[in-house]
Chain A
């Protein structure tokens, strides 16, 4: 009885100590970066960084995260961090891992990239990295457009979204193509751990990153990170948008271990909201009419059926 009490007390003290240490400018990414106020991506990055330990090397593809945290004479990172080009983050990570293996070191290598670098530009090299079965964690922050260069459509842009290169108007409903299913591409490579989350669930992100770090072999995590100028939302609505994406069934919290949907993703009590509220708060979907909203609702319904939500 006493032992249990002592153990419980120790656990509480430990969690309190973590909470107190959190955000006291001892984070692995410091304040003072140039990201927009309310950036959903940086919100997700904070959760990812809490899951990493100091024995980690970060590789960054070009994108908002790289540009906002490494404005020339300054850096926000407190971990070894490297950036080279848009497409080759996977190859750089492979090289680092090869050097670490040669020196018999167990340092973790984590890649962070946006959806442009993952879905479009870097996909060939990522496929190579997964094929070589290297022990690297790949994290994709999915903003559903090239946010850094001014909201051009990417392979991740959903159907009907208004972007600079897919403008909506009299004869166009915005993006004509539907979102590429990157999770299935990752699963087709035989990855042991594939997960999907959104920036509204920081604890979920931290747990998934921790699981990916202990997985032997490559792992892929995709995090929906709402973009204030890209989605045309208010700065305090990024977390709300990310939560509504999960609730509507358009972007469910998923986890595949050994290629199978794990139990934590399946939720018997899940009651989907309609997609209306999710689309309503975003300026990029404001032009959609009832019929088009119905088509998006169909997508959400298909997701719910497919993932047993």
Chain B
């Protein structure tokens, strides 16, 4: 059964909130020191905006990376990093 499209009541597409670039809310920006990062992924698990990724580097080690399009700059990652590899810097 196909649903009729009503232009007055558009259907919300799954994951369509990606259109909101919430990165513009930010006053401070997290910067990750890749040399210190041990790849424990605690920051990625705790991020409320799910904007920290774990990526494999050349030496096949996991490193954290931030998607600045959506990062609201709350600073949870910097506060919780066990090796203090993340620093919050001014972003304005």
Q: How many A-B residue pairs have CB under 8 A?
A: 138
Chain B min CB distance to A82 (Å): 12
- Is the beta-carbon distance between A37 and B74 smaller than 8 angstroms? yes
With known contacts A30-B18, A47-B45, A75-B17, A235–B12 Cβ distance under 8 A: no
What would 28 A/B residue contacts be, using CB atoms closer than 8 Å?
Answer: A19-B41, A19-B44, A20-B54, A22-B45, A22-B54, A23-B44, A23-B47, A25-B67, A29-B50, A31-B17, A31-B50, A31-B51, A32-B22, A32-B49, A38-B48, A38-B76, A39-B74, A43-B46, A46-B50, A74-B16, A76-B15, A202-B45, A202-B46, A235-B74, A235-B76, A236-B79, A239-B46, A240-B79
Which residues of chain A from 6 to 62 have any CB-CB distance to chain B below 8 Å in the complex? 16, 19-20, 22-25, 27, 29-35, 37-43, 45-47, 50
- Is the beta-carbon distance between B20 and A32 smaller than 8 angstroms? yes
- Which 4 interchain pairs have the tightest Cβ spacing? A38-B74, A236-B75, A37-B72, A42-B48
Partner of A16, one of B25, B62, B80: B62
- Is the beta-carbon distance between A78 and B14 smaller than 8 angstroms? yes
The residues of A with any CB-CB pair to B shorter than 8 Å are 16, 19-20, 22-25, 27, 29-35, 37-43, 45-47, 50, 69-79, 200, 202-203, 234-240
Chain B min CB distance to A122 (Å): 24
- Is the beta-carbon distance between A235 and B75 smaller than 8 angstroms? yes
Task: Report the separation of the CA atoms of residues A32 and B21 in the bound assembly, to the nearest whole angstrom.
Answer: 6
- Is the beta-carbon distance between B79 and A42 smaller than 8 angstroms? no
B53 contacts which chain A residues (CB < 8 A)? 22-24
Number of B interface residues, CB 8 Å? 42
Partner of A237, one of B52, B54, B56, B79: B79
- Is the beta-carbon distance between A42 and B49 smaller than 8 angstroms? yes
- Is the beta-carbon distance between A74 and B20 smaller than 8 angstroms? yes
Partner of A69, one of B17, B22, B26: B17
Any A CB within 8 A of the CB of B55: yes
- Is the beta-carbon distance between B18 and A25 smaller than 8 angstroms? yes
